[in-house]
Structure 1
């Protein structure tokens, strides 16, 4: 093999890692459609190809990148290591990838990236490993690929390793394992908040009523996944009960944002006048616009219903070096709605909606419409459609909207 040009191969490694980070954020972004995700994933794959062509030289550069201890670098190295089947390379990747949950995401994503038949032997070995960390990665990969690990999952649900147990509880819902509902129910009062959340999350997917109050408490307490808990709860509640709880959340400043999001999840146009009122409040204006879109399907930018960012409003880190706020603005990719323009738009469109009916993107929620949204919606909309679809058929595996875009396109027969 001809000598490699180190600078070019290094660039492939850097770009593969960087683009993986972009796609890791894109799968949850409000402005990415499946076609956009697929294009981004094709760029990742192109740089991985550059590393593959470089052979051993490509691996050595990726191996060096592992020293940065970043998930993107772990992803690139893991793809090459698992593709090669080289035990030493795999061991080096796992040694770094098992150091934290964040780093393990790179390993999980790499095994989710490879063709299934190529990944399966590695996943099987991880699932039967003596290491709880290895088994956790194996469960995560199997669940992400919607490949049921069978009795292994049943055993990991009773693990004393909290990370492994929590990931296994999540897998129950993802895989639609109705037979494991008794184990899920037994963990609804777990002392570990992460296990409690995933037990309730899976319980909601599998239509377990006792999961709903657990999700409500997690949301009200401001738990780590409070917004997800809130969304799952209202999806399973009768519309009027969901509205009642949403109003309670709206009455507390600390849960106002969740209340705004909840209306978008409920999908009932009865809440739209209140949503428009929230658009005058900078802290929740953009998420109110997103909830309006979730219900009506309106594209604020396309319909010229955008406003200006309020003067003096700051969210997320600023350019001021003395600013201690380093949290990313969660709404940075959402448009600012103009409340007056939106109100006029709604006045001319409200007769097309019936209060008490749940809508997603302007149409009543039906199985056929969920499948269409999976093909054509933006990522957050697609995720909502996937969850609603699974809830209507408890036991149906949850469609993975975070899977490689090119693989999703094949499954959904989209080009």
Structure 2
């Protein structure tokens, strides 16, 4: 056997390994989008997946040109996971021509833009050094939007670049900047956010309203938030509804919930919102909803959001009703990861939960807002950030901004190891 033949036979397995790294990185990224927004995933679960994802990305980086080729071949599918892996690799390698080409592709594919933002948030600060600054100063609006999103993921204020971007003519950049204004705690941009409540673009109006609320405004943004809940098919409705019910007192929320219950299409919204309101007078109604298989798990999550109880840990769950298909798994090798907000949640046992509530419900004051078993406070919400599930952690991050307007919004979707490092330093008071 010649040396050339030996080299070819050795190269083939290596190419297969690199291809496998590209496939697994894309798959894990797609699963990460599901887990990062799920009701059952805690930070240490996200860390396990992130460590696996990082290992495959490292494999691509070590392979250098072969890793880039494998990502190029995977881009034939142009899904979120494939775009994410390719951009992370380009950033880690400081391959600017390749990064330019990838961003040009991503700009044409709105469905992968969240993956582009995650890639910027995933890359290390060292990898972004110089690149982020150049992108913030770029004449191209989409590149500036990507850079602002990356700064947001790293809890870094984009500075003067953000000031100009909130009034940019480009909708994508303007929306990203309006979002970042609130998430970065830029109280100097509150007036700009209020001005954007009349923006011609619905997405810009929503992000302007949300940011204005995070920055301390409590009246003018309400109408825009309410309008956002009425836009079918937009990703903003649920976020707007959750924020509105965090602002409403239990007395203000009661007629809104009653109105939602009169519309069958909004019953799930009502169940979810009851958990946000946190008034324990709604708990008996939530327990009743647990009898309905279509609402059971969501009602169980709402009950946990109010009381802070872990239903599985306390053996307050039951077996799934007969005829109910099992959820898509959250194992990385499982390709069926279609997002359903009930996936992974325990099936609550109404009888046992009712008995628990009869025995312990007197410890909660009716008419108060409870979040994870306590009235929202800084220390309590920081504790939820450290130990809660992802949707609970997302709510805790918003509460911290509502408690202290101008605080940076904690990025619960950032790489888990970075979140753990931040939380180790996060003030309890």
- Give, in angstroms, the shift of residue 410 of structure 1: 0.6
Instruction: Give the stretch that moved more between structures: 268-277 or 397-406.
Output: 268-277
Q: TM-score, normalised by structure 1?
A: 0.91
Q: Give, in whole Å, the separation in 2 of the partners of 1:331 and 1:355.
A: 28
Q: Tell me the distance in 1 between the aligned counterparts of 2:415 and 2:338.
A: 27
Residues 255-287 of structure 1: per-residue CA shift (max 9 Å, x gap): 221111111112221210111122223332211
- Structure 1 Cα separation of the partners of residues 228 and 280 of structure 2: 26
SS where residue 198 of structure 2 aligns?
coil
> Out of 275, 286, 300, which is 1:289 matched to?
300
Which residue among 34, 54, 70 is the counterpart of 1:45?
54
* TM-fit CA distance, 1:6: 0.6
Aligned length: 406
Matched, 1:215 2:233: no
Matches within 5 A, 1:250-289: 250-289=261-300
CA distance in 2, matches of 1:63, 1:173: 36
Residues 320-379 of structure 1 show CA distances to partners (whole Å, capped at 9, x for unaligned) of xxxxxx975331222222222221221111012111222222222211111111111111
Could you tell which deviates more after superposition, 174-183 or 394-403? 174-183
2:258 counterpart residue number: 247
Query: Displacement of 1:219 after TM fit?
Result: 2.0
CA displacement 1:6-28 (0-9 Å, x = unmatched): 11111111111111111122111
State whether structure 2 residue 108 is matched by structure 1 residue 99: yes
In structure 2, runs of 5+ residues without a counterpart are 1-6, 329-336
The 5 Å alignment of 1:187-198 reads 187-198=196-207
Distance, in Å, in 2 between the alignment partners of 1:150 and 1:284 is 45
Distance 1:295 1:283 in 2: 20
- For 1:370, the equivalent position in structure 2 comes to 381
The answer to whether structure 1 residue 126 and structure 2 residue 135 are counterparts is: yes
CA 1:90–1:148: 2 relative to 1, 3 Å: same
For residue 42 of structure 2, the aligned residue among 13, 22, 33 is 33
1:114 aligns with 2:126: no
* Alignment match of 1:408 (pick from 406, 419, 423): 419
Q: Tell me the residue number matched to 1:322.
A: none
Q: In structure 1, what is the Cα distance between the partners aligned to 2:339 and 2:22?
A: 26
Shift of 1:230: 0.9
Structure 2 contact 120–146 (Cα < 8 Å) conserved = no
Deviations 1:15-51 (A, max 9, x none): 1111111112211111111111111111111111111
Q: Which residue of 2 aligns with 1:148?
A: 157
Return the offset for 1:315.
Answer: 11
Alpha-carbon separation, structure 1, partners of 2:96 and 2:315: 56
Do the aligned partners of 2:61 and 2:93 also contact (CA within 8 Å) in 1? no
Per-residue CA distance 1:165-212 (angstroms, 9 max, x = gap): 111111111011111111111222333211111111112212212112
Moved over 3 A (4+): 1-4, 220-223, 307-317, 326-329
Look up the match of 2:396.
Answer: 385
1:351 aligns with 2:362: yes
Q: Quick one: distance in 2 between partners of 1:282 and 1:187?
A: 42
RMSD of equivalent CA atoms: 2.3
Q: Is the CA contact 1:17–1:73 (under 8 Å) kept in the aligned structure 2?
A: yes
Mark the runs of 5 or more structure 1 residues left unpaired by the alignment.
318-325
Question: After the TM superposition, which of the residue ranges 216-225 and 147-156 deviates more from structure 2?
Answer: 216-225
Corresponding position of 2:333 = none
Higher mean C-alpha displacement, 327-336 vs 26-35: 327-336
CA distance in 1, matches of 2:136, 2:315: 52
Q: How does 1:79-98 map to 2 (within 5 A)?
A: 79-98=88-107
Among residues 221, 227, 237, which one is paired with 2:238 in the alignment?
Answer: 227
**Contact kept in structure 1, 2:39 and 2:391, CA below 8 Å:** yes
- TM-score w.r.t. the length of structure 2 is 0.89
Aligned pair partner of 2:32 in 6, 15, 23: 23
Q: Check 1:367–1:92 CA distance in 2 against 1; reply closer, same or farther (3 A cut).
A: same
1:65 aligns with 2:74: yes
**TM-superposition CA deviations, 1:287-326 (whole Å, max 9, x none):** 1110000011122223332234445567999xxxxxxxx9
